[in-house]
Chains A and B, each alone.
Chain A
Amino acid sequence: MAARTLIVDNGAATIKFGFADEDTPYKTFANNITRSKAERKTFVGDQLETCKDFSGLYYRLPFEKGLLTSWDVEKQVWDRLFNGKIVPCEPSATTLLISEPILNLPNIATTYDQLVFEEYGFHSYTRMSAPQMAMYNEIPRLYGQKMTSGKKRVDCAVIVDSGYSFTHIIPFWKGKPILVGIRRINVGGKLLTNHLKEIISFRYWNMMDETYLVNEVKEACCYVSNKFWDELDICKKSPRANKILQHYVLPDYSSQQRGYVKGGSKSKQRGKKGKGPGKMDLDDIEAEINEADSEDEAYSDQGDNDSDEDMSEPNEDEQVLTMNNERFTVPEILFNPSDIGMDQAGIPEAIVDAISSCDEEIQGMLYANVVLIGGNARLPGFRKRVTNDLREIAPSEYDVRVGIDKDPFGYAWKGAKRLATMDEFASEFKNRLVTRAEYMETGSALCESRFRSAV
């Protein structure tokens, strides 16, 4: 096939995209339109990088409750994405592999087809959910093992996709999702950011309008606690003895464009590097995950922050945000949604519930192949916490293995790339595709049946 394959993981917050035949890793693109009050300008997707003042940013998101509903926003973002400068593509000679929410509604699915074929005129396309994409990865590698030779992929795994809107738990069997085992927890990165925003506004500064900034704070400071009550006790101590306490220096958008954590050398660098929004440094995250896993307490990953410099009197010019127990009580919502009055089980409990609704014969294999993906999986200590909690409540006869990639954020994209490039998957990939000519002949019904059956 002469057509090049473009892989787009259309996440609710960030689009991960790249051509399958290129060796470069994926690129990211903010999936939203923002408006800056201070600059009186509208930014589509990556244009936000040119923004100088992130205060009072107003967001327009294409996704609502995990579903793509605001197509006018999405169209503007895609127009910019596909316009040749960012993705040098000729849609009529391009195969598109795009992600969609799991159990997408038929109405929305049809709109995908319409837009891809009628508006953009792609040569052929297929869509699948992000966890499905992740299934094409070499999952045994996450547990330090090699793929059994002669096998294309693992028979079964549970993918826990903790994204921006929701957290989904999806067991797979022979590459197909087990529908009765799918569970959703209505907690995602968006809810965490909003909750942190509210808490900060109650306790310290009013930041109700500063979504962008609070998200930066969350990414810099938050972690998943493995000894929750012990660490809560530490938070009561005086600042000198409290190792959890962090001081986040807020940017003033004149001399300082980005905030940073005081005292933590690594984080300081990260703040000053001035990366564009939505762009992430893979090395940083990798280091963070390794560090968090190797060390006993995830909170100490910012280095010694009870140094003298840290505790010195705050500089007159800088505004400091104190992050104490908020650092781990906010991500804790993923594990106990009841903390904020939600009547739902947390991730470990929901995994057990999902697995126990599957066939008993494969339950053992599912427990041994839990994979964490999505943006929230980047929180330090996440894997360890899921492992520990799951071990406590899973039946004792089963082994529990929880795997996480160095870059859980792009794991789905990488899986999709394997699907599109590897020879073993060639026929499977081909069976999934619908070409534009076929669509024009038969319409959306063909897409629906082919994307669902060819799994």
Chain B
Amino acid sequence: MAHIHKPFKRPGWHASKKTKNLKQIITADKAKEWKTNTPTYWNIEALPSMTPQKKYCDITGLEARYTDPKTRLRYHSTEVYQLIKNQPIGVVQQYLGLRNAAVVLK
């Protein structure tokens, strides 16, 4: 891009300082003292839902009537259960990760 002629730009101008990345901006912004109840970019998130979470089969995406007590996978029917019975633990965790339910060890 550098060698392309840019008539719309002032040739002598250079960005004075590097712009901050998101993390720096967030830290700087949160360090400021805001009055309580002032809406900012960070506190306008929607509230948690009042409705119960829907349950889907983790394998097929259909309605989940059952939960496997061993792996916590939700499943639709016995056929699906035959499949998940023999899944290795890593695969099970990946399936759970699809709906943010995987156990994350730190």
List chain A positions with a Cβ less than 8 A from chain B.
Answer: 44, 64-65, 67, 69, 71-72, 76, 79-80, 82-84, 89-91, 101, 103-108, 111, 114, 118-121, 169, 179-180, 182-186, 198-199, 202-203, 229, 232-233, 235-236, 324-326, 329, 336-346, 349-350, 353
Cβ–Cβ contact A343 & B48, under 8 A: yes
B1-21 interface code vs A (CB 8 A; 1 in, 0 out)? 100101111100101000111
Q: Is B40 an interface residue (CB 8 A)?
A: yes
The closest CB in chain B to the CB of A351 belongs to B46
Q: Cβ of B46 and Cβ of A183 under 8 Å apart?
A: yes
Docked CA distance A301–B51 (Å):
30
Residues of B within 8 A of A353 (CB): 46-47
Task: State which of B13, B38, B40, B98 has its C-beta within 8 Å of the C-beta of A340.
Answer: B98
The answer to whether A121 and B49 touch across the interface, beta carbons within 8 angstroms, is no
Residues of B contacting A104 in the complex (Cβ-Cβ under 8 angstroms):
41
Instruction: Give A259 Cβ to nearest chain B Cβ, in Å.
Output: 21
A105 CB contacts on chain B under 8 angstroms? 25, 29, 41
Residues of A within 8 A of B89 (CB): none
Across-interface contacts of B95 in A (CB, < 8 A): 202
- CB-CB under 8 A from A345, the residues of chain B are 46-50
CA–CA, A199 to B59, complex, Å?
A: 9
- The answer to whether B39 and A180 touch across the interface, beta carbons within 8 angstroms, is yes
Are B49 and A337 in contact, CB atoms less than 8 angstroms apart? yes
Give chain B's interface secondary structure class: loop
B21 contacts across to A, CB distance below 8 A: 69
A291 and B60 alpha carbons, distance in the complex (Å) = 29
Closest to A89 in B: B8
Q: How far is the CA of A69 from the CA of B24 in the complex (A)?
A: 10
Q: A103's contact among B8, B20, B40, B94, by CB below 8 Å, is which?
A: B40
With A183-B46, A350-B46 in contact, is A325–B61 under 8 Å at CB?
yes
Given contacts A79-B1, A83-B6, A179-B39, contact A339 B49 (CB under 8 A): no
A339 touching B45 in the complex, CB below 8 Å, given contacts A83-B8, A180-B39: no
B82 within 8 A of A: no
21 sampled A-B residue pairs with Cβ under 8 A: A65-B22, A69-B25, A79-B6, A83-B6, A83-B8, A84-B8, A89-B8, A91-B8, A105-B25, A107-B28, A121-B9, A179-B39, A183-B44, A198-B98, A202-B98, A339-B54, A341-B100, A341-B101, A342-B100, A344-B45, A345-B49
Q: Determine which of B7, B8, B45, B47 lies in contact with A186 in the assembled complex, contact meaning CB atoms within 8 Å.
A: B45
By beta carbon, the residue of chain A nearest B63 is A232
Give the nearest-CB partner of B61 in chain A. Answer: A325
- The interface residues of chain B lying within 8 Å CB-to-CB of A69 are 19-22, 25
- In the complex, what residues of A have CB within 8 A of residue B8's CB? 82-84, 89-91, 120-121
Q: Is the CB of A326 within 8 A of B49?
A: no
